[in-house]
């Protein structure tokens, strides 16, 4: 097996309510961040490495579909009024019996796919592996309690030294085989934890940021503007 999975899903269906006036007319995925649409920070990197890329759309989907139309490589999955994991059980991807890289559209980081994929293979190719980062001030997340790479619990309130990054690898076929349909990844993770099937990679070794609110966008821009090489 090579350094990269064949499939990736970029989840871009969120309504972006916490972005306030920035998402009145456009989806969160298209919010401008230093002259670049938010989702392009990840999508451009995926384009270089992944053969098959699916993108979920929902809120203001027509604007996003129009933006993506120039590249016939993308498979659009309409998840309007559905949960963020609906596609795992109800799209053609449910038949994929191999690793699928999954990430949210609101993260900004270097996508070290060989690091992520090698961790997944070394763990034993579980149904799901989440990628952890160190908590960043001002960004909420699901804190991870683990032992020997197996996830024991996820919590928004019980703090640990690592939390979810929005990056994971799943095997849709195996997930469908072992658990019932769920519309939210938190539900999937909960069931997999009960079955000792949710794992965590090594700590992600690259700077990471997530933009879900207007305040986080301002903080990110201030951080970038204060940087001097």
Q: Tens digit of pLDDT per residue, the chain (229 long)?
A: 578 999 999 999 987 778 878 888 899 999 999 999 999 999 999 999 999 999 999 989 999 999 999 877 899 999 999 999 999 999 999 999 999 999 999 999 999 999 999 999 999 999 999 999 999 999 999 999 999 999 999 999 999 999 999 999 999 999 999 999 999 999 999 999 999 999 999 999 999 999 999 999 999 998 887 644 3
CATH fold for the domain made of 5-224 = Spore Coat Polysaccharide Biosynthesis Protein SpsA; Chain A (3.90.550)
Cα angle 34, 5, 11 (rounded to 5 degrees) comes to: 45
Domain residue ranges in the chain? 5-224
pTM: 0.95
């Amino acid at each position: 097996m090579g350094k990269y999975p064949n499939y990736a899903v970029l989840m871009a269906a969120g309504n972006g309510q916490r972005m306030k006036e920035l998402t009145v007319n456009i989806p969160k995925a298209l919010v401008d961040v230093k002259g670049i649409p938010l989702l392009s920070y990840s999508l451009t990197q995926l384009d270089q490495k992944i053969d098959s890329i699916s993108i979920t759309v929902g809120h203001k989907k027509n604007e996003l579909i129009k933006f993506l139309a120039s590249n016939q490589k993308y498979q659009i999955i309409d998840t309007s009024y559905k949960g963020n994991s609906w596609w795992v059980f109800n799209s053609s991807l449910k038949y994929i019996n191999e690793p699928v890289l999954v990430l949210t559209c609101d993260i900004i980081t270097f996508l070290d796919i060989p690091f992520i994929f090698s961790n997944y293979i070394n763990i034993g190719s579980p149904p799901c592996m989440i990628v952890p980062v160190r908590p960043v001030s001002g960004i909420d997340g699901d804190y991870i309690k683990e032992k020997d790479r197996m996830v024991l619990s996820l919590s928004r309130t019980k703090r640990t030294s690592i939390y979810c990054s929005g990056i994971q690898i799943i095997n849709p076929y195996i997930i469908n085989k072992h658990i019932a349909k769920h519309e939210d990844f938190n539900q999937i993770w909960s069931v997999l934890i009960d079955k000792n099937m949710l794992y965590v990679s090594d700590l992600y070794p690259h700077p990471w940021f997530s933009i879900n609110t207007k305040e986080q966008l301002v903080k990110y821009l201030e951080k970038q503007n204060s940087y001097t090489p």
